[in-house]
Structure 1
């Protein structure tokens, strides 16, 4: 919901840094993998019982996630780069809730399963929408230049990162927060399906 507005603020400085990073010969895929590594490190730290400290690699990983696109635009964007980026994002988004479940399976297990299922459903509607949009030649630049069509929704990347930060700050409230956010993910996916019904109907 806030991604398009956030992009207007973060893209100019990211693009400037991306140009400098690309000038050193660093590739966008390397930045993507660095971001994934930091994200998985954050998940491991949450699992080990240090969610507050995990905020550092978690936020750095999201910085890298934004920077890889800037590096690609400053050097050479590829379809595989976009594919690697979205695959890395989905792994990161699943790893963080899983880490909280592993941290306390008894308290967080059911809510975590509900949340992960909502991510699975929401991600499916997102990627399915992108495939059909590509098939029809649809384009969008509301969230910056992307390899995939990014359909907007009630919950997007900015809201998810804010949710993860809140979980790290208030880990004892994981279960109620997961139930709420998961329900909103289901609502987002359902609204996307309703929109697709109108746009992609023959």
Structure 2
């Protein structure tokens, strides 16, 4: 919901930093993998109950996620880079709720399962439309230059990261926050399914 609105503010400094990293020989794929490793560490920190460490690692993971695209734009976009970016993003999004469930299954498992189900449906709508859009050669730059064309939704990257940070800052509130965000994500997924069906009709 907020991704396209934040792009004009975030892209210029991120692109400058990405260009500087690219000039020093840093690869976009390397940034993507480093970001995922940071995300895995964030999930491990949640499992162990080190929530402020998780908060910082989640923030760093998202910085890397913005930088890999900036480095790619400063050099050249590749299909492999786009593939790694989306797969590892989805893996990270799944690891954080799972980590909360592992940390306290009695308190968190149900809410984590509902949230993961909402992510699953939203991801299916996201990726299925991207496949059909590629088949029809549809393009957009509403979310910046991306490897995939997808329908914008209510729950996107900005909202997801904000929620993850809230969860890490207020871990006792995880079930409430997770259920509320799951409801928003289910609504986003349904809206994406409807919009995708109409656009492909």
- Output the TM-score relative to the length of structure 1: 0.98
**Residue of structure 2 equivalent to 1:156:** 156
Distance 2:60 2:111 in 1: 27
Deviation at 1:57, TM superposition (A): 1.3
Q: Distance in 2 between matches of 1:124 and 1:51?
A: 30
Q: State how 1:56-67 maps to structure 2 within 5 Å.
A: 56-67=56-67
Looking at structure 2, the residues matched to 9 and 122 of structure 1 have their Cα atoms a distance apart, in angstroms, of 26
Deviating beyond 3 angstroms after TM superposition, the runs of 4 or more aligned structure 1 residues are none
Give distance in 1, aligned partners of 2:76 and 2:58: 27
Aligned to 1:43: 43
Q: Unpaired segments of 5 or more residues in structure 1?
A: none
CA deviation string 1:146-168 (max 9, x = no partner): 00113201111000000001101
* CA apart distance, 1:54: 1.1
Alpha carbons 1:143, 1:150 under 8 Å: kept: no
Q: TM-score scaled to structure 2, two decimals? A: 0.98
Give, in whole Å, the separation in 2 of the partners of 1:22 and 1:173: 40
| Cα distance per residue 1:84-111 (max 9 Å; x no partner) | 0000100100000111000000111111
RMSD of the alignment, in Å? 0.7
Is 2:115 the counterpart of 1:129? no
CA–CA separation in structure 1 for the residues paired with 2:36 and 2:90: 10
Structure 1: distance between partners of 2:28 and 2:178: 32
Deviation at 1:136, TM superposition (A): 1.1
Distance in 1 separating the partners of 2:117 and 2:39: 20
User: What are the within-5 Å matches in structure 2 for residues 1-202 of structure 1?
Assistant: 1-201=1-201
Q: Is the 8 A contact 2:151 2:196 kept in 1?
A: no
Q: Which moved more, 1:9-18 or 1:52-61?
A: 52-61
Q: Distance in 1 between the 2:198 and 2:150 partners?
A: 17
Secondary structure, counterpart of 1:39 in structure 2: helix
**Distance in 2 between residues matched to 1:150 and 1:103, nearest whole Å:** 34
